[in-house]
Amino acid sequence: MELKAENLAKLLHGTVDGDPKATADSFAKIEHGKPGKLCFFANPKYEHYVYTSKASIILVNNDFKPKEAVSATMVRVENAYAAVAELLKYVSAQKKRNRRHRAFTARWHFSTKFGKKVYLGAGSYVGRRTVVGDFTKIYENVYIGEDCTIGSNCIFYPGVSVYPGMKIGDNVIVHSNAVIGSDGFGNVPQPDGTWEKIEHLGNVIIGNNVEIGAGTTIDRAEMESTIIGNGVKIDNLCQIAHNVVIGENTVMAAQCGIAGSTKLGKNCILAGQVGIAGHLEIADNTTIGAQGGVIGNIKEPGQTLLGSPVIPIRNYMKSYAKFKRAGQE
């Protein structure tokens, strides 16, 4: 896709500093800039690449003042990092223009309801009485069970499994091999030492503008619902257990695990490999560092916590300094 500097300026509400007819047909990091590439500069430590880059176009902040000559055409925007994110989204959307398609080997039922321009890839299955919203894309080998509700403008990448009875909002992205609605890990010990499975009859409710990473599993509730709020972003290989509630705009990196019936507040940040025990409550705006272990309620909002079990970052750094000194003795 050809990107012209003057058109980029209009799209990103910026201005052109250089040749408005300069064009690029692909993206590159600024240190790899070559003719025909579009790069961006936002981090000051990469400034020297601006002067050596052979890229055709570079997105820069409005307040950037070059100390040397710049050969590339610069498109000045309010925030170069945010602008490139917006541009990548725009280009991706252009490549995925909506078209109605139902592959010959896809399967659905007469009671299945599809909205406008739904894409259904080869080998996919959509169950009885399921409703799929407008412009949703269900790629190859996706399973969506009966009695589900799927919103508009969703994307289900190959290999996704959605169990019966799930409810998914608008603009949801589910990456390959994610599983929505598997049974929670519930078993009752028996007198003879065996375990009796607890049946899970609830569902999963996913809000709008949610993204779920590849290989992530979200378990259905025993009763009622596991709930993923609007704007939640979940990375790859995460485990969300039964009856968990995740508040709006919370994000979690890869390999996080949340045990059953825990409630996360809004706007929380979980770094990689965070583990949270069951039946806890985590306050809004909580940040938990990588490999943090949470074994108790977090009642005060806005804290940053580290360690296992987690403690406030200031206390952790003091403790770490003592550990480090002890290790050097």
Of the residues 32, 175, 242, 279, only one is catalytic, namely 242
Asked if 279 is an active-site residue, the reply is no
Q: How far is CA 286 from the centre of its chain?
A: 18
Q: Is residue 241 within a helix (H) or strand (E), and if so which, with residue range?
A: none
Q: Copy the structure tokens of residue 246.
A: 């995740």
Query: Contact, 60 vs 46, CB < 8 A?
Result: no
Sheet holding 101-102, edge to edge: 101-102, 119-120, 137-138, 155-156, 173-174, 211-212, 233-234, 251-252, 269-270, 287-288, 304-306, 311-312
State residue 296 phi and psi, 5-degree precision: -145, 170
Residues forming a β-bridge with 26: 37
Q: How far is CA 184 from the centre of its chain?
A: 22
Of 188, 189, 219, nearest to 204 by C-alpha is 219
Annotated active-site positions, please?
242
